[in-house]
Amino acid sequence: MEDDEVETPERPTTWRRVRRVAYVVLSLVILVPLAAFVVAYLVLDVRSPQEVLAGLDKTAGLAYTDGSEMMKVVPEDGDRLYVRYADVPPKLRDAIIAVEDPTFWQNEGFDPLGILRAAVTGVGGGSGITQQYIKNATGADQASYFRKFSELVLSTKLTQQRSKEEIFESYINIISFGRGTFGPASAANAYFGKPLADLTWSETAFLAGMIQSPSVHDPAASSHEHASRRWDYVAEKLVTRGYVSEAERAEMRYPGDAVVPPAETRAGRLTYSEYHVKRRVLAELESHGFGLDRLRQGGLRIETTLDRQAQADGEKAVAEQLAGQPNHLRAALVAVEPGSGAIRAYQGGNWGVRDYAGVPQPPGSAFHPFVVAAGLRQGENLDRKYPAPDRLDYGGRVVKNEAGCGAPECSVRDAVRGSVDTPFVEMTRRFGAVAVSQAARDAGIPADLDGTPTLREPDGVTIGPGIAVGAYPVRALDLASAYGTFAADGLRTQPYFVQRVLDDEGTVLWEHETTATPAIEPQVAAGVTEALRREDGVAKAGSHRFGDTGDNAGAWLAGYTDRLSTVVWVGADEERRLRDAANNRITGETLPAAIWRAFRR
């Protein structure tokens, strides 16, 4: 009995201890976060939109590699017109809520399901309109749990203190729609040149689509093809969330023809050449989490990769060589540093908002080095000879030589130096079009541009005969980067504009880290360099023919030194016969070569 009396109270005592521990743990799990929420609720506060707008007077500065100022990112006069809630067109309000925060009218400042969905899928940030306002009002955009926690607390507090109409009014007046605009009134003028009240359903869907990433979705920054896909997304959200009927959706059209050039972003402050650089830098910054709002509110300083002297020399070379030439001629120049990918000079043209350095064009025989690389990878050598007829049919494409070798066959070396096209057809047949495409990809020609596959037929899959003679369009920026891979003994790097981002106290917030990837075998890169070597350097001319006229519609000179890989393109807005002021035929060895030699460094 004594044993029983000892054991009997032991069980409930142990169980009681377990329960006490469980109660303590449960209390901590519930009470600690609750206490933290209460404390944060009492301590944290949100600035009014007027205070936030006043803070936007801070400007972000872009600098050259030497630290000297390049330009400032500031809003133009009138780009921050405040719009009351009552003056926001219901169509625009509905479009923004449909795509940015469908539960806005019902939620308590945030959508728990949206946050959970973002956490599980990794798609989207889970931030609704109230949270976006908090983020813009505080200027805090760092990826941290404390920032997200603070957003949730302040979103709840704001929802309890203000009406939904006041929150929406505050939000819509501090967000950026791109092109240096804050608020919907300035955005309507910047994109469509019309008052806010006159916007159509299609135009409001367009503006609502800009909010997520204006430096990317603006058709002047990407393309109308890209912008129309974003517009389709918003239009479909309007239908699925009940703001627009299927019949109304069928009447909506992407308003590309109504979008005006982004003159407001330059307004006497920037040249078009500077505008192209600014647009490229802002798009790159946005991809690293530094949107326009964060740049302006923080007064941040952006150190670019552009060299002041190289940039000036590039603009001078283009301007001087085209002086006195027909007015319809256009040109672009890009210089990339081999081994790092840093863009030292970028001239997209000074003729308007079209960035000629970023518009894909057929490179013609400037693409030959990639055919050579494919062959060298398979054990071929530069002295191997291939048939060089004056004309041949390849897969339905007629290929003609601009010049011959003076013999029925050409060595690889002579075919490159003489821009003899027909031997490259036989090379491509022998090496395989896939191998040629892969060599170009490995060197740095991207697999796609804005979702559209490169070096392919319109079906996005087939590699046609045009790859042998450079018929598929590439950008000057990408060609300069790919040639830079050969110059760097086969090491490929991603071309970039932004070196680092600093706050107003000089603290580095972000810095580019170069990653060089072995992509082309060193002996192959050396062989390509040997094939391209000529009296004035290591370079290759190319041209895109204008039908059967014997003239060209585009002309290139691409080459490199140890310091820079530089590409020059000369053409026109529309395909046409290119002739210079003396009515001479323009080829890669004429105006492009003159610009390249004037700039070479």
Q: What is the pLDDT of residues 494-503, one digit of tens each?
A: 999 999 999 8
Element (H or E) spanning 192, and its range? helix 184-192
Confidence grade of residue 47 (pLDDT, cut at 50, 70, 90) = low
pLDDT tens digits along 195-235: 899 999 999 999 999 998 888 899 987 789 999 999 999 99
The arithmetic mean of pLDDT across residues 436-440, rounded, is 97
The arithmetic mean of pLDDT across residues 113-138, rounded, is 62
How many residues are present in the chain?
A: 601
Place of tokens 């002041």: 308
Query: Which whole-number Å values give the CA distances from 360 to 323, 435, 449, 529, in the listed order?
Result: 25, 22, 9, 24
- Looking at residue 399, its pLDDT comes to 76
Confidence grade of residue 163 (pLDDT, cut at 50, 70, 90) = confident
- Percentage, residues of the chain above pLDDT 70: 80
The mean-pLDDT minimum among 20-29, 350-359, 427-436, 497-506 falls in: 20-29
- Looking at residue 152, its pLDDT comes to 67
Q: What is the DSSP string of 426-469?
A: HHHHHH-HHHHHHHHHHHT--SEETTEESSS-TTSS---GGGGG
- Looking at residue 406, its pLDDT comes to 66
Average pLDDT over the chain reads 84
The mean-pLDDT minimum among 128-132, 239-243, 508-512 falls in: 128-132
Q: What is the DSSP string of 52-97?
A: HHHHTT--EEEE-TTS-EEEEE-PPTTTT----GGGS-HHHHHHHH
Structure tokens at 83: 């719009």
The arithmetic mean of pLDDT across residues 290-303, rounded, is 80
- As annotated, the active-site residues are 100, 365
Torsion of CA 401, 374, 437, 470, to 10 degrees: -20
- Percentage, residues of the chain above pLDDT 90: 54
With H, G, I as helix, E, B as strand and everything else as coil, classify residue 333. Answer: strand
Give the C-alpha separation, 206 to 330, whole Å: 31
Regarding predicted confidence, which is higher, 508 or 143?
508
Confidence grade of residue 263 (pLDDT, cut at 50, 70, 90) = low
Strands 60-63 and 301-304: parallel
- Looking at residue 291, its pLDDT comes to 85
Regarding predicted confidence, which is higher, 150 or 540?
540
> Could you tell me if residue 295 is left (phi over 0), alpha (psi between -120 and 50 degrees) or otherwise beta?
alpha
- The answer to whether residues 497 and 306 touch, using CB atoms and an 8 Å cutoff, is yes
The arithmetic mean of pLDDT across residues 301-322, rounded, is 96
Give the C-alpha separation, 533 to 511, whole Å: 36
With H, G, I as helix, E, B as strand and everything else as coil, classify residue 304. Answer: strand
